[in-house]
Structure 1
Amino acid sequence: MNIFKLIEDIKQVDAEALDRLEFASRRSFMSSLGTKLMAAATPVALASVFNKAFAFTPGAIEVLKFALTLEYLEDEFYKAGNAKAGLIPDMYKPVFAQIGKHESQHVAFLESALGAAAPAKPNFDFTAKGTLPDSLNTFDGFVFLSHAFEDTGVRAYKGQAGNLMAAEDKPLLEYALQIHSVEARHAAVARKILGTIRNRPEIKPWITLNEGSPAAVYAGEDNTVQGGVDINGIAGKSKEAVTEAFDEILTKEAVFAIVTPFLA
């Protein structure tokens, strides 16, 4: 998603928009990762209130269980990476330490919201049964897997949003989409770092058409149909711009196909 291009378009209409959206500016995007993203991480106390005050639908409970499995995966991955001596260069340690904190908060939120219904945390193999031996042995391997997990998480949350539309689930939908937003920022910064360490400027924080960065997790990244409407060419925008503006969804089945190799 090319958020920077979107901001520039908004600025042409409203000159003060960039000030009001300071958190999304080019400069603050990287420099404020450790402070501004925290505002979007849902507090555990709120999850406890949800658990006591709302009777979620059975479908919503299944969405929470699904989301928690993904968050367990990401949380354990960053715990392992951040704890391994010499894996992450000093200049990037604050970035991945903060991402790790977010994932731990997401786990705590979902566990609290589910209560006794929370699934047990699986054991994980971050080499994907030997196919990714460098995932916790080289920084390149670590960042590559970070980008893949975050891409998957973004699309997984978007894919489940429609299952939280019942009236009693609406409060949960709001906070699920906040987590989705945090995951999207994680994916963008992981892409940016991957492009930097590989000296590949074509690896961007967003995806154009189906180019991926470096490989798409979804085969239809060049899709231009959103909400049942083909928006290719809307407002005179190119297909490249339209595909940059939207992340695709992944179904639960597609997500588990990606995640299953990492289950020990």
Structure 2
Amino acid sequence: MNIIKFLDDISNKELLETKGSRRDSFNQMKNVGKNFALASIPFALAATSKKTSAATMSMSSAMFQADTTAILNFALTLEYLERNFYQIALGTDGLIPEEDKDIFGLIAEHETSHVEFFKAALGDAAIDEPTFDFTGGDLGLDTFSNYQTFLALSQGFEDTGVRAFKGQAGALANNDDLLTFALQIHSVEARHASQVRRMRNQKGWVTGGTAASNGIPSVFDAIYAGEANTVQGGVELAGLFGSFGGPQAVQEAFDEPLTMAEVLAIGGIFIVS
């Protein structure tokens, strides 16, 4: 199955189309230094054509709207991307310091296992591996020549992927086996995110609802939008734990899902074909 055709099919069925080029979508980032650059990839990658897509699915309604095959292919696409990203980095001389190579080597092995799982689950319905461009096209990221850019991009991939996975979990609610395996993978991806964040001298968990509060320039606020939420289960928790960190501690105690629309708005600039 061709990745672009797959994404176009999903767009026709489930997404609302909006116009905009790569350059238009990321023009606001032009004044951000490359060393601060971070972009992220969603679970549901948008086709890099003249049209980007906005999705309508939320976590609460995903189980009624999403197709299991589509969700698994979204997951497979992310795993393809992460596997490719880490394999290129590990094969680039002088990029990753010796003391960090074992960490990213293990993460790459995890991503390879995840790819094989989703391919086996999908069988003939699995999409082909796309061609990726980790410079971000018009962004011109120095991803594989600057270790700090590589780390920042890794955090972006991992943090967004965790939230995106959570947002689509409801789509697998009626398949106990797939939901179990998917959540097992999801928790490992969250561990990846925590590890990379600590390597960037950030907390191991998301803190606050802005990019700056997570060590990322403010043009990337969409990655962390909604993470400042302090209402859980309809209960406002912000004023209940003043002696235990207050509202910030509440925010850090709960991860928030991303809808497909939010995920697609964040990125999708790393897939070529």
Both structures adopt the same fold (TM-score exceeding 0.5): yes
Q: Which has the larger displacement, 231-240 or 241-250?
A: 231-240
Q: Which residue of 2 aligns with 1:208?
A: 207
1:165 alignment partner AA: A
1:88 Cα offset (Å): 0.2
Match of 2:192 among 170, 180, 186: 186
Alignment of 1:1-264 (within 5 A): 59-166=67-174, 169-195=175-201, 203-211=202-210, 212-215=213-216, 216=221, 217-233=223-239, 238-264=246-272
Contiguous gaps of at least 5 residues in structure 2? 1-64
Q: Does 1 or 2 have the higher relative contact order (CA < 8 Å, sep 6+)?
A: 2
Distance 1:62 1:134 in 2: 32
* 1:233 and 1:242 in contact (8 A); partners too: no
Q: Deviations over 1:155-203 (max 9, x none)?
A: 011111122211xx122111111111111111111111112xxxxxxx2
Identify if the C-alpha distance between structure 1 residues 227 and 126 changes in structure 2 by more than 3 Å, giving closer, same or farther.
farther
Superposed structure 1 runs of 4+ greater than 6 Å apart: none
Shift of 1:245: 1.3
TM-score after normalising by structure 1: 0.70
Letter in 2 for 1:118: A
**Whole-Å Cα distance in 1 between the matches of residues 241 and 141 of structure 2?**
46
Contact 2:167–2:257, Cα closer than 8 Å, also in 1: yes
In structure 2, how many angstroms separate the alpha carbons of the residues matched to 1:157 and 1:98?
21
2:208/2:214 contact within 8 Å kept? no
- Structure 1 gaps of 5+ residues are 1-56, 196-202
- The answer to whether the Cα contact below 8 Å between 1:218 and 1:250 also exists between their aligned partners in 2 is no
Q: Distance in 1 between matches of 2:171 and 2:239?
A: 29
The one-letter code of the counterpart of 1:102 is H
Aligned residues between the structures: 199
Cα drift, residue 235 of structure 1: 6.3
Q: How big is the shift at 1:257?
A: 3.1
Whether the 8 Å CA contact 2:208–2:224 is kept in 1: the answer is no
The amino acid of 1:208's aligned partner reads: T
Q: Distance in 2 between matches of 1:174 and 1:259?
A: 27
Q: Percent identity?
A: 48
What RMSD, in angstroms, separates the aligned Cα atoms of the two structures?
Answer: 2.0
Decide whether the 8 Å contact of 2:197 with 2:204 is kept in 1: yes
Q: CA deviation at 1:58?
A: 7.1
* Cα distance in 2 for residues equivalent to 1:132 and 1:230: 43
